[in-house]
């Protein structure tokens, strides 16, 4: 695609043309020539949507919950974009589940844009294209963007890099899930949802989660497994959040507000608890805005994206240099024969790059 065609595609996306949006995301996912120029062109139009990441183990009901969330947002007049990151096919690299029908409540609604993307084996279930797809949806004008991750039991830490708020789903009575949370995913959750809360064991799961949250925030805390309600948004001097989401400080010189992860019970198939969940998500976004954490998250994402792109591009440059010097197989054979060693090979391959970077000091 030439530059004029790319500019036309970007213009149509910014004008709200769904076909242009779909084409841009396809280019992003396939890393087609020119996709970086497209992302550069739309970058200045991003930063308006709120982004929620939804993760959890298979069977927790993520897809149903996302469907109900999207419907709730639509009912109050907001537009929604959903990116579902699916397992990769070992043969094609594409999404195994493809464009599955799972947004049953929103079929035919053009203001809900659903896209299934391949995880491509990425740790944490997010493809490297996901953050760029979020930018495309943001620039398009979506008010809410929801990312549903694979949730195959691994730590879904990549969600943090893309989402403003991370929602972790847990099934009632699933001790293994709670143990899995202890392994690391507890650290990334802003809101925990015990879905299928009409099942036996829901109350115990809620209590276990709230216990773990207390232990995370203060290992010495007296464990209190009562519900937090909307009192999670507070500061170090004892302020609490009113029902309207505002922070009522007891000390004029109090520290900035902090956030205690909330536990919400839902029965997504029936739409129960969705309003409470949305209120909690709104509370968290208010906290992010008022505390300055939203801007800090944006800076962290930008820094990580720069590092990731540099690692990727420099890696490709080094692969080409490796090939130019005979290829990795020849180097490996020389290492096995003790003619050289991996450190010496690395220095030899890196030398041209070091020389180029060193020129700046002259």
107-122: pLDDT as tens digits: 667 889 999 887 555 5
pLDDT over 80 at 246, yes or no: no
- Tokens for 289, please give them: 């805005």
Domains by residue range for the chain, with CATH: 45-291 (3.40.50.300), 307-361 (no CATH)
| pLDDT at 35 > cutoff 90 | yes
Q: Tell me which residue of 327, 312, 325 sits closest to 352, measured CA to CA.
A: 325
How far is residue 258's CA from residue 323's CA, in Å, rounded to a whole number?
51
Determine which of 128-137, 150-159, 343-352 has the lowest per-residue pLDDT on average: 150-159
Does 16 or 3 have the greater pLDDT score?
A: 16
What confidence category does residue 175 fall into, taking pLDDT thresholds of 50, 70 and 90? Answer: low
Nearest to 70 by CA among 83, 60, 58, 57: 83
Helix residue ranges per DSSP H, the chain:
3-14, 18-30, 35-42, 62-75, 130-140, 158-162, 175-182, 202-217, 274-291, 293-324, 328-336, 342-358
Chain centroid, CA 123 distance in Å: 12
pLDDT at 249 over 90: no
CA distance 294 to 291: 8
pLDDT of residue 100 exceeding 90: no
The pLDDT of residue 194 is above 60? yes
More confident residue, 276 or 118: 276
What percentage of the chain has pLDDT greater than the value 70?
73
Residue 256: is its pLDDT beyond 80? no
């Amino acid at each position: 695609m030439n530059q004029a065609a790319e500019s036309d595609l970007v213009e149509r996306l910014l004008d709200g043309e769904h076909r242009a949006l779909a084409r841009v995301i396809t280019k992003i996912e396939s890393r087609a020539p020119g996709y970086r120029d497209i992302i550069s062109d739309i970058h200045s139009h991003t930063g308006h949507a709120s982004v929620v990441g939804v993760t959890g183990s298979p069977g927790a009901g993520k897809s149903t919950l996302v469907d109900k969330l999207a419907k709730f947002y639509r009912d109050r007049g907001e537009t929604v974009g959903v990116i579902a990151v699916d397992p990769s096919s070992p043969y094609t690299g594409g999404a195994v589940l493809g464009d599955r029908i799972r947004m049953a409540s929103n079929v035919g609604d053009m203001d809900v844009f659903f896209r299934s993307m391949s995880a491509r084996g990425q740790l944490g279930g997010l493809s490297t294209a996901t953050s760029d797809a979020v930018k495309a949806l943001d620039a398009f004008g979506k008010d809410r963007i929801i990312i549903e991750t694979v949730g195959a039991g691994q730590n879904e830490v990549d969600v943090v890099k893309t989402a403003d708020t991370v929602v972790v789903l847990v099934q009632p009575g699933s001790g293994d899930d709670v143990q899995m949370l202890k392994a690391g995913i507890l650290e990334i959750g802003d809101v925990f949802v015990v879905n299928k809360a009409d099942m036996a064991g829901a109350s115990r799961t809620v209590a276990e989660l709230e216990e773990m949250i207390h232990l995370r925030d203060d290992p010495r805390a007296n464990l209190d497994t009562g519900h937090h309600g909307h009192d999670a948004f507070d500061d170090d001097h004892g302020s609490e959040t009113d029902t309207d989401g505002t922070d009522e400080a007891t000390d004029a010189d109090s520290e900035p507000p902090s956030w205690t992860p909330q536990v919400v019970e839902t029965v997504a198939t029936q739409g129960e608890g969705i309003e409470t969940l949305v209120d909690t998500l709104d509370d968290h976004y208010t906290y992010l805005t008022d505390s300055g954490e939203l801007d800090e998250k944006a800076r962290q994402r930008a820094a990580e994206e720069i590092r990731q792109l540099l690692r990727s591009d420099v890696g490709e440059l080094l692969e080409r240099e490796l090939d130019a010097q005979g290829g990795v197989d020849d180097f490996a054979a020389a290492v096995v024969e003790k003619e050289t060693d991996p450190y010496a090979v690395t220095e030899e391959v890196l030398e041209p790059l070091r020389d180029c970077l060193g020129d700046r000091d002259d």
